[in-house]
């Protein structure tokens, strides 16, 4: 019943680092991405071309993209909220751009300073220009399981925003638990509803782990037929506009789960554990991956 293969998208260099208060040097970002590429990820979210006033940590995206070693077989993605971001992403030769909206009006305003409807009008030319340039386009859908400002988010809003992304031509749509509040039952409900209108092969699960539910939620999503998941090495991260939310589920923990289920990812767990140790040391903070810590202690 479970899939034989899963596409694991490593978002640590973007979602993981964007919330760091201290500026992380370009060299450290580049080494992290190079290590993750070498571990075999099919997709690494490497940069964000957003306003440096809003997210100063991501201001060096062009330099990062310029300096990384690009592994054949890895897609390098970057966030592009508007045409200015897209132009920077094109100049930096990213492979895939991510337009990012929300199922919650309140979060949309806090994160990208406009309503959901306005965001879609802003994304339309971005998606079209990206497609014209031959890039893949992903749509990230925040607050699919709850919002830090409005609380509950109706499943119908998630379905409706997913359809808007579909209509803009997104290749993939990321169903995101921005604040990590979702439970396995909710995951079943949300993915069942969205897969009624969009093929499950184009949907991903992007789970933050605030309430410790992310691994259970991944298993629940696998059972609904989802085969793309996002994770952050060493469990780094949090969204600057979702106060109190922790990082994405740790990649090492997800790999340990998938390896145990015999699900193929093409990613080398030992190399990810080493990358997690590298970045935790560089940031001078405890490693947020349970599996990573256990394997490092062996
Ligand atoms: P705004 O202030 O409404 O935009 O922000 P603006 O067009 O009025 O521009 C304001 C200033 O920003 C101008 O500079 C622009 O040039 C500049 P000034 O004239 O004042 O010197 N600017 C830019 N600079 C560089 N690159 C750009 C860019 N755009 C404008 N692309 C805007 C609107 C969308 C720009 C802003 O709200 C923003 O940058 N937001 C990004 C917030 C963000 O990055 N959040 C985290 C990522 S989303 C996330 O983490 C969730 C996710 O992981 C899924 C999940 O877990 O839910 C994906
Ligand atoms: Mg996120």
Going by alpha carbons, the residue nearest to atom 56 of ligand 1 is: 178
Supply the pTM of this predicted model: 0.98
| 235 within 8 A of 288, measured Cβ to Cβ | yes
Please tell me the least confidently modeled range out of 80-84, 116-120, 155-159, 283-287: 283-287
| Residue range 18-46: mean pLDDT, rounded | 97
pLDDT for residue 238 is more than 70: no
- Please give the share of the chain, as a percent, with pLDDT higher than 90: 96
Q: Is 143 a catalytic residue?
A: no
Question: Which protein residues touch ligand 1 with a CB less than 6 Å away?
Answer: 15, 18, 48-55, 79, 81-82, 84-85, 88, 100, 111-113, 140, 142, 176, 178, 206, 208, 239-241
ipTM surpassing 0.90: yes
Query: Which residues, in sequence order, are CB contacts of 168 under 8 Å at separation 6+?
Result: 99, 120, 123, 124, 127, 137, 139
Q: What letter does residue 268 receive in the DSSP assignment?
A: -
Query: Which residues, in sequence order, are CB contacts of 70 under 8 Å at separation 6+?
Result: 37, 76
Tell me the DSSP string of 170-204.
-SEEEEEETTS---HHHHHHHHHHHHTTS-GGGEE
- Please give the share of the chain, as a percent, with pLDDT higher than 70: 99
Going by alpha carbons, the residue nearest to atom 53 of ligand 1 is: 15
Please tell me the least confidently modeled range out of 170-174, 235-239, 246-250, 262-266: 235-239
Q: How many helices (H) and strands (E) does the chain have?
A: 11, 8
| 47 within 8 A of 24, measured Cβ to Cβ | no
| 8 within 8 A of 254, measured Cβ to Cβ | yes
What pLDDT sits at residue 134? 98
The mean pLDDT value of the chain amounts to 97
73-83 pLDDT, tens digit per residue, is 999 999 999 99
Q: How many CA atoms lie within 13 A of 239 on its CB side?
A: 24
| Residue range 183-208: mean pLDDT, rounded | 98
């Amino acid at each position: 019943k479970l899939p034989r293969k899963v596409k694991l998208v490593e978002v640590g260099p973007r979602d993981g680092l964007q919330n760091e208060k201290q500026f992380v040097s370009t060299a450290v970002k580049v080494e992290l991405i190079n290590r993750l590429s070498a571990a075999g990820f099919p997709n690494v979210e490497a940069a964000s071309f957003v306003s440096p006033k809003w997210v100063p940590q991501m201001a060096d995206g062009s330099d990062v993209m310029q300096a990384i070693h690009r592994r054949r077989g890895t897609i390098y993605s970057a966030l592009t909220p508007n045409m200015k971001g897209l132009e920077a992403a094109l100049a930096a030769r990213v492979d895939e751009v991510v337009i990012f909206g929300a199922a919650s009006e309140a979060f949309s305003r806090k994160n990208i300073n406009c309503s959901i409807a306005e965001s879609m009008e802003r994304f339309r030319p971005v998606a079209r220009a990206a497609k014209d340039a031959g890039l893949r386009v992903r749509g990230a859908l925040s607050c699919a399981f709850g919002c830090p400002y409005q609380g509950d988010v109706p499943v119908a809003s998630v379905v409706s925003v997913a359809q808007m992304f579909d209509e803009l031509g997104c290749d993939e749509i990321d169903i995101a638990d921005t604040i990590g509040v979702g439970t396995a039952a909710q995951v079943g409900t949300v993915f069942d509803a969205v897969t009624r209108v969009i093929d499950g092969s184009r949907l991903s699960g992007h789970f933050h782990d605030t309430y410790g539910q992310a691994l259970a939620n991944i298993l629940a999503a696998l059972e609904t037929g989802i085969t793309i998941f996002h994770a952050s090495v060493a469990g780094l991260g949090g969204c600057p506009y979702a106060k109190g939310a922790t990082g994405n589920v740790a990649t090492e923990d997800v790999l340990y789960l998938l390896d145990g289920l015999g699900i193929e990812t093409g990613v080398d767990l030992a190399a990810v554990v080493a990358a997690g140790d590298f970045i935790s040391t560089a940031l001078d903070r405890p490693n947020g991956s349970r599996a990573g810590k256990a394997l490092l202690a062996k």
